[in-house]
Amino acid sequence: MKVAIITGGSNGIGKSTVVELAKRGVGIILTYNNYQDRAESLVEAIQSDYGIRAVALKLDLTNRASFASFENDVRKLLREVWETDEFNYLVNNGGVGGPMMLDDLTEDYFDKILNTNFKGSVFLSQRLLRFMKEGGAMVNTSSSSKSQSFPGYSIYGSLKAALSVWTRYIAKELAPRGIRVNAVSPGPTHTNFGDGAFDQHPELIKMLADQSVFGRLGKPDDIGKVIANLLSDDFGWVTAQDIEVSGGHLL
């Protein structure tokens, strides 16, 4: 059985990715930071609905000192649950968002976005890729904001752009092992991202929906299906790509 590790897998796009992979018979290690109850409920649902083994682990991407123990936990789970020393897929999905204008910019905000959305993913991947099976695949969740200019998102968009560029470089480094690396860049997607901004400001929904050629916001399932497909052998000749999944936002 193939096994996937999905960061930020308890909620939103990560949750949809977890479900899509489970439907395809992939074993799941998902991480959560603030939503333990949702993570445990998802694990139970996957095991009940699809008969797939799944485990949830706590992970704070800003705390790199914890990565060594997380790696040990993953290695132990692979041996005990799946009787293997390797895994097949990595989805770097965990992240934080929310706007802050330049005049208000603080180092704490900058560091939180940097450490969660970019630095954490880089150094976690460094550890985990050491025991990814040859011929595996990785997908990084970037954002269409990297190529847009909405006020307040200069740091978020810039660091998502860094993740997209890193994707291309790492795809070349890992190619000798047959590992493919791609990114997806969601457009506006109705999740509770940014502390539930859409639920707090429903007027944003119509404004952003009107900017899509399909007249709606994206749904987590729209993105999760693309990620699951990119990981699959059906996309075995695709690497170093960043695919926008935005429903034609601002087309």
Active site residues: 156
Please check whether residue 93 is in contact with residue 6, taking contact to mean a CB–CB distance below 8 angstroms: yes
CA distance 37 to 165: 34
- Torsion sign (Cα): 141, 147, 151, 155: positive
The three-state (H, E, C) secondary structure of 72-90, written as one string: HHHHHHHHHHHCCCCEEEE
> How many Cβ atoms sit within 10 Å of the Cβ of residue 227?
30
> How many Cβ atoms sit within 10 Å of the Cβ of residue 158?
15
Residue 143: C-alpha distances to residues 94, 123, 167, 243 (Å): 12, 20, 13, 10
β-pair type (3-6, 87-92): parallel
